[in-house]
Structure 1
Amino acid sequence: MINEHRTNISGLTVIVTGAGSGIGRATTQALGSAGANVLAVGRRLEALTDTAEGYPTVVPFAADIRGGTAAPEIVHAAVERWGGLDALINNAGVFAAMPLAEVTSERIDDLFITNVAAPSLLARAALPHLVQAQGTIVNVSSTFGHVPAPGAGHYGATKAAIEQLTRSWALELAPHRVRVNAVAPGPTESDALASAGLSDELISQVKDEEAARVPLGRRGNAVEVAEWILRFVDPSASWVTGQVMAVDGGLALT
């Protein structure tokens, strides 16, 4: 059943990156359930097709957001299909555990290209349409964007950048009535740890350690994060901009 606050989302056109799994999949499906038109973007078409199954207003679009022409192509696909664009969800990102002793320029470049440059270029491509719609951008950060963690400094730096971009864009775009906010999830069940190349044993260890640190005593799930992304997309949040919402079980308080 659609929550009452989601009824304003019906008919909106939204781009979601990283829609093939985790928070991106949960967000895409929640938007689809609420009646939004969603371009579900990711690198794996099969995963995107699974996300879209059963949601007739969700359309898979396979693309690597790091590609030089990806941003305008993604935005064009949404606008051509639905005639406009109301919201951009910059969810796609990569995690890398990188102690200082293991830093390489290639690994740093990959983190910043994926987590900072690609969302920026997507926002730039979407901007004329978002201005016309007086729409919104929602960036997905992380607890590590404002809480330090050994071995995750460069990943955290990319998320700190996203949080600063969120605040700066909010001020810059406020005269156009375009809202910009971010959600900062804590440890959330997803494929991120496996995608980072960690072994099953290490993943289990990390999950146990993370759950022990969270004041509410557990890791989160993607649906809980998606709920807050939808709240920012909803036009009823028309007086909220420049905010970074921690959805982390209280982890940032520790």
Structure 2
Amino acid sequence: MSSSTPSHFTDRVAIVTGAGSGIGRATTIALAEAGAHVLGVGRREQALRETARAHRNIATLPLDIREEGAAKAVVADALERWGRLDVLVNNAGTTAVMPLAETDRSVIADLFELNVTAPSMLAHAALPHLRDSSGSIVNVSSTYGHRPLPGGAHYAATKGALEQLTRSWALELAPEGVRVNAIAPGPTKTDVLAAAGLSQDAIDAMHDYERDRIPTGRLGAPEDVAAWILRIADPLGRHITGQVLTVDGGLELV
């Protein structure tokens, strides 16, 4: 563990969704290295195995969090293993390139099911145990949760919804000692665009376009985002709640 990594997670318990790759994998590993026991959740069993090999503090649960009863199953698994829950990281999500002229009802439904409904049900299932531990929820939004995205309006709308859930839950749960914050990454090197069905040429073109607009001149790395998830979930940060922290190299400023 590096000297810059928070060390206040020793023997804490965290759940991270979308743990098979990208930001979810980086966050799962970072929490484990900081001393937490981490349950990494995702749909791809082999990808989860690769994540788990990074640290002995990582356990995994292959499951689709959109399924009926999945949220309760995830929380029950963590409790059975470690007897408590301190942090829920709602990272799993999907995107879609869908201009208004190509709007498809099923795509809209899928976006909201994974990006809004599933995190809500996980937060609901985790809440009694986060009350007991004075724990926290970290939702992973996007720069496009609070700025327009031509050709991706419905994706942006789901992230805007997640940010509003973050603020509203924070206000609702503050008297009970549960903190709720969000991290909003900008363009980051993950496999989310490939998972959305874009060709490698389209992905490369989009990354080149985004890189040229980012003031720091580079795309984010999953580890950039994971570091800030740990900081905002740190148990010592008792006085920060209801915040959306953007980690995008200054993109939202231009």
**TM-score category (smaller protein):** over 0.9
Distance 2:72 2:102 in 1: 35
Cα deviation for residue 167 of structure 1 reads: 0.3
Distance 1:5 1:209 in 2: 32
Does 2:210 match 1:210?
yes
CA contact (8 A) 2:29 2:54 kept: no
Could you say if the C-alpha distance between residues 90 and 215 of structure 1 is closer, same or farther in structure 2, counting changes exceeding 3 Å? Answer: same
User: Counterpart amino acid of 1:68?
Assistant: E
CA contact (8 A) 1:184 1:247 kept: yes
CA contact (8 A) 1:9 1:233 kept: no
Does 2:13 match 1:13?
yes
User: Counterpart amino acid of 1:147?
Assistant: R
Does 2:166 match 1:172?
no
Q: CA RMSD in A?
A: 0.8
CA contact (8 A) 1:91 1:140 kept: yes
Cα deviation for residue 54 of structure 1 reads: 3.4
Distance 2:79 2:87 in 1: 11
Q: Match of 2:7, SS?
A: helix
User: Counterpart amino acid of 1:235?
Assistant: P
CA contact (8 A) 2:188 2:221 kept: yes
User: What does residue 224 of structure 1 align with?
Assistant: 224
Alignment of 1:233-248 (within 5 A): 233-248=233-248
What stretches of structure 1 move > 4 A for 4+ residues in a row?
A: none
CA contact (8 A) 1:2 1:34 kept: no
| C-alpha distance after superposition, 1:170-211 (max 9, x if no partner) | 000001010000000000000011111111111110000000
Alignment of 1:126-205 (within 5 A): 126-205=126-205
| C-alpha distance after superposition, 1:142-177 (max 9, x if no partner) | 011011011010000000000000000000000101
Distance 1:54 1:198 in 2: 29
User: Counterpart amino acid of 2:37?
Assistant: N
User: What does residue 48 of structure 1 align with?
Assistant: 48
| C-alpha distance after superposition, 1:32-90 (max 9, x if no partner) | 11110000000011100100103111001101010011000000000111001001000
Determine what percentage of the aligned residue pairs are the same residue.
57
Cα deviation for residue 2 of structure 1 reads: 3.4
User: Counterpart amino acid of 1:205?
Assistant: A
CA contact (8 A) 1:5 1:234 kept: no
Distance 1:3 1:193 in 2: 33
Does 2:77 match 1:77?
yes
CA contact (8 A) 1:86 1:129 kept: yes
User: What does residue 67 of structure 2 align with?
Assistant: 67
Distance 1:23 1:242 in 2: 21
CA contact (8 A) 2:43 2:63 kept: yes
Distance 1:5 1:203 in 2: 32
User: What does residue 35 of structure 1 align with?
Assistant: 35
CA contact (8 A) 2:18 2:42 kept: yes
User: Counterpart amino acid of 1:121?
Assistant: M
Q: Match of 2:85, SS?
A: coil
Distance 1:140 1:54 in 2: 22
TM-score normalised by the chain length of structure 2: 0.99
Q: Please, which runs of 5 or more residues in structure 2 have no aligned partner? A: none
CA contact (8 A) 1:97 1:152 kept: yes
Q: Please, which runs of 5 or more residues in structure 1 have no aligned partner? A: none
Distance 1:179 1:232 in 2: 10
Distance 2:98 2:4 in 1: 43
Q: Match of 1:76, SS?
A: helix
Cα deviation for residue 233 of structure 1 reads: 1.5
Distance 2:97 2:86 in 1: 35
Q: Match of 1:132, SS?
A: helix
